[in-house]
Structure 1
Amino acid sequence: GVIGFMVCSTEGPAVDFKNPVNPIDKMEDEKRPLKFYNAEIHSAAFCLPSFAKRVIEAKANST
């Protein structure tokens, strides 16, 4: 399989992608029910495999 994921920024506030500013479940209540997408799916979309976490942690610890 292929894993592709990139989020880049050199400025601005920190962003917590797993917890959106506009919660998915709240948006669903305001409009129409979503059939497949929910807050859990959104959060899972930003999970990283173990090897990627180790690389990121190693780079963060080396700076």
Structure 2
Amino acid sequence: MASNKEKSEPTFTKAQFLKAKSFTGLQKDIMRAILDSEEAYTFDQVNVKIDEFMRKDVQQ
């Protein structure tokens, strides 16, 4: 029988993401600015936050 339980994705801290080799320097700079040190995030959450940040209009 198939289980109805969803697999939970692993979460990581801001410090762990900043050490990851899968992100560019620019992405790490953005993470330093937008991620909370006390929170844990999935890869998908971080990628969405970076994408949203990159799509924001520049304010003058």
Alignment TM-score, normalising by the size of structure 1: 0.31
Q: Comparing both structures, which one devotes a greater share of its residues to helix?
A: 2
Q: Which has the larger radius of gyration?
A: 1
Q: Comparing both structures, which one devotes a greater share of its residues to strand?
A: 2
Task: Give the number of the structure with larger relative contact order, counting CA–CA contacts within 8 Å between residues 6 or more apart.
Answer: 2
